[in-house]
Amino acid sequence: MTRHTSKRPGDKTSASPGRQPPRPPAAKHPPVRKQAQSPAPAFRRPSAELAVLYGFHAVREILRSKNRKLLDIFATKAAAERLCPEIESAGLIAHIVESEDLARRLGANAVHQGVMVEARPLEPLDLSDIATRSGVILVLDQITDPHNVGAILRTAAAFGVDALVMTERHAPDMTGVVAKAASGGLEHVAIVSVVNLARALEQLGDMGYLRIGLDSEAATPFEEAPLARPLALVLGGEGKGMRRLTRENCDHLARLDMPGAIKSLNVSNACAVALTLAHMRLPRL
């Protein structure tokens, strides 16, 4: 005869054989340190006193170099985690945003890589402010494409160039696309903006710089041109090259000889080749 036992309220039910008791819920990971959730990003209005810079490598060098006053950083959670040491070292709190927020602020074509910084522009410099370390500077004669200028800056930083001299007009803003293309180089090369490039070249000559202009029609190959420090390497604008007064204020004109079917290079590539040849030929400091 089978005995039926009724369970009273409150009785504990033993686990069935072979059945594991339920596990407690997994602990949640703590949020990234020193970051503020920003459901509605409070981006600043564009102004002459605001530099907006983006791209992972560009922002990382901005945070590391401490060359400018930083206002705010906006980043996706993943980008903020990767940059956490630099963000903390710079004394900032990252505002966590979505990638779409940055795209709306910067434009759909901006390759922001999940991070953007709002900062003050770099302090303007004069020719007399150039600190001579490598004894090499670049002079840009109305190069207007921000991708070209950014690529030139990246190469200049790689070769330890002291400064980039360019005109105030007919030159891109030193922010946004230029900073992204420079991949951090903007923070490591001094930028000198001048009103009159011909007068600036005269002043550089008075300061002892040897001024070499790159010209595809020049009679002298770059390999045979005289080189000495301090050196000012002059690059002409896209398509039209150097203007007449710029050419007249160079000590020598030199060409880059190309062995292939195409005899000319994009200005940023020509800059990289010329700096490589100059680095090989100039005596070490």
pLDDT tens digits for 199-245? Answer: 999 999 999 999 999 999 999 999 999 999 999 999 999 888 999 99
Q: Where along the chain do its domains lie?
A: 39-119, 127-281
Instruction: Give pTM, 2 decimals.
Output: 0.83
Q: Residue 22: which pLDDT band, with cuts at 50, 70 and 90?
A: low
pLDDT of residue 40: 60
Span 68-82, average pLDDT: 97
Question: Can you tell me the mean pLDDT for 75-81?
Answer: 98
Q: Which amino acid is at 91?
A: G
Mean pLDDT of all residues in 119-145: 95
In DSSP notation, 242-256 reads S-HHHHHT-SEEEB-
Secondary structure element (H or E) that encloses residue 150, with its range:
helix 146-158
CA nearest 97: which of 84, 110, 111, 78?
78
CA distance 83 to 76: 11
pLDDT in tens, 83-97: 999 999 999 999 999
The 10s digit of each residue's pLDDT in 148-191 is 999 999 999 999 999 999 999 889 999 999 999 999 999 999 99
What's residue 240's pLDDT?
85
Percent of the chain with pLDDT strictly greater than 70: 86
Is residue 210 within 8 Å of residue 232, measured between CB atoms? Answer: yes
What distance lies between CA 105 and its chain's CA centroid?
A: 18
Assess if CATH 3.60.20.10 describes domain 39-119.
no
CATH number given to 127-281: 3.40.1280.10
Q: Give the torsion through C-alpha atoms of 144, 150, 156, 159, to 10 deg.
A: -150
